[in-house]
């Protein structure tokens, strides 16, 4: 409970800072208001310098441009190319969802209460990709509704994002693994085509992978620690991809709240075409 409380205090501090400093404020734990204001001014000056240099050094620049304001959209064909080698799935969103809701492609169909397909708006600017449903999700059929989901909603709101109008959420696995164990490789292989088809149909401007399983799947970098691939913008079929910790991990380990927040700032910058 101490960890959860301190994590909530961090978020409360973050929200107070944003109210005082504005939506582009930096969140830096332990700073006074004056120190934060000085740093925010430095950051703004740095951002202006970056704008004028017009040099984007992130990996995404190699094969895709963020679909922010004034930037060309990632092509639907590029994402479709990623999914072209997958099993044939329905081409329409409604049919894909119906197909998943009755799926028995892997052993997880035997123990589930409900298939958890997605939540949020269908044509969202941001698509959040998690790992697998937990007990609350299995019961309700909606992803990220437990404590971790509520924390995710709160953190997303600090960068102006909400599943009510800008966010779509789905998991790598659509059915709950027993006892919330980790997904098995054959389960990921069986289920991930649904997720990849969802990405193709939703056409998000930016992807946010939370947790190792979604990060490794979408970056294609298996067995790489999350800490080594977060903090930069990757590229999934032309769509900018930010990877970060799972919100459930933040509840267990509040020291990851700050890097999570920094990754959300990065996502916001990509979304704004910075």
Q: Which is nearer to ligand SF4, 118 or 257 (CB)?
A: 118
Binds ligand SF4 by CB under 6 A, chosen from 79, 159, 170, 191: 191
Residue 174 lies near ligand SF4 (rule: CB under 6 A): yes
Closer residue to ligand SF4 in complex, CB, 105/197: 105
Nearest distance from C-beta of residue 149 to ligand SF4, angstroms:
19
103 lines the binding site for ligand SF4 (CB under 6 A): yes
Which residue in the set 36, 108, 126, 202 belongs to the binding site for ligand SF4 (CB under 6 A)? 108
Q: Tell me how crowded residue 256 is: count the other CB atoms within 10 A of its CB.
A: 21
CB of 152 to ligand SF4, least distance (A): 21
170 vs 250, beta carbon nearer ligand SF4:
170
Question: Which of these segments, 144-152, 157-165, 169-177, 230-238, binds ligand SF4 (CB under 6 A)?
Answer: 169-177
Q: Is residue 172 a contact point for ligand SF4 (CB under 6 A)?
A: no
Q: Does 176 bind ligand SF4 (CB under 6 A)?
A: no
Least spacing, CB of residue 235 vs ligand SF4, in Å: 25
Under the binding rule (CB under 6 A), the answer on residue 115 touching ligand SF4 is yes
- 217 touching ligand SF4, by CB under 6 A: no
Determine, following the binding rule CB under 6 A, whether residue 106 of this chain makes contact with ligand SF4: yes
Write each residue from 73 to 102 as x if it is in contact with ligand SF4 (CB under 6 A), else as -, in one continuous string. Answer: ---------------------------x--
196 forms part of the interface with ligand SF4 (CB under 6 A)? no
> Smallest Cα–Cα separation from 58: which of 232, 226, 220?
232
User: Which are the contacts of 269, defined by CB distance < 8 A and separation ≥ 6?
Assistant: none
State the nearest-atom distance from the C-beta of 264 to ligand SF4, in Å: 28
DSSP string, the chain: -HHHHHHHHHHHHHHHHHHHH-TT----TT--HHHHHHHHHHHHHHHHHHHHHT---SGGGGT----STTSPPPPHHHHHHHHTTSPP--SSHHHHHHHHHT--SSGGGTT-SS----EE-TT-SEEEEES---HHHHHHS-SS-SHHHHHHHHHHHTTT--TTTTEEEEES-SSPPGGGPPPPHHHHHHHHHHHHHHHHHH--SEEEEESHHHHHHHH--TT--HHHH-SSEEEETTEEEEEE--HHHHHH-GGGHHHHHHHHHHHHHHHTT-
Binding site for ligand SF4 (CB under 6 A): 100, 103-106, 108-109, 115, 173-175, 187, 190-191
């Amino acid at each position: 409970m101490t960890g959860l409380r301190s994590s909530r205090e961090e978020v409360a501090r973050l929200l107070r800072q944003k109210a005082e400093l504005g939506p582009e404020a930096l969140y830096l734990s332990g700073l006074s208001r004056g120190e934060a204001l000085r740093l925010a001014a430095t950051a703004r000056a740095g951002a202006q310098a970056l704008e004028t240099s017009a040099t984007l050094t992130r990996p995404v620049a190699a094969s895709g441009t963020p679909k922010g304001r004034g930037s060309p959209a990632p092509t639907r064909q590029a994402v479709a190319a990623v999914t072209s080698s997958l099993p044939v799935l329905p081409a329409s969103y409604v049919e894909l969802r119906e197909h998943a809701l009755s799926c028995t492609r892997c052993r997880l169909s035997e123990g589930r209460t409900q298939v958890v397909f997605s939540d949020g708006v269908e044509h969202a600017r941001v698509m959040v990709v998690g790992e697998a449903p937990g007990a609350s999700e299995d019961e309700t059929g909606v992803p990220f509704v437990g404590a971790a989901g509520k924390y995710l909603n709160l953190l997303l709101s600090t960068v102006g994002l909400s599943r009510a109008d800008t966010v779509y959420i789905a998991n790598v696995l659509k059915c709950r693994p027993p006892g919330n164990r980790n997904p098995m490789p054959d389960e990921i292989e069986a289920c991930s085509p649904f997720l990849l088809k969802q990405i193709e149909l939703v056409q998000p401007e930016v992807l946010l992978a939370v947790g190792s399983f979604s990060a490794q799947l979408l970056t294609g970098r298996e067995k790489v620690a999350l800490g080594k691939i977060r903090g930069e913008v990757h590229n999934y079929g032309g769509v900018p991809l930010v990877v970060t910790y799972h919100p459930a991990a933040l509840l267990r380990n509040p020291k990851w709240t700050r890097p999570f927040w920094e990754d959300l700032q990065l996502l916001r910058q990509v979304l704004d075409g910075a």
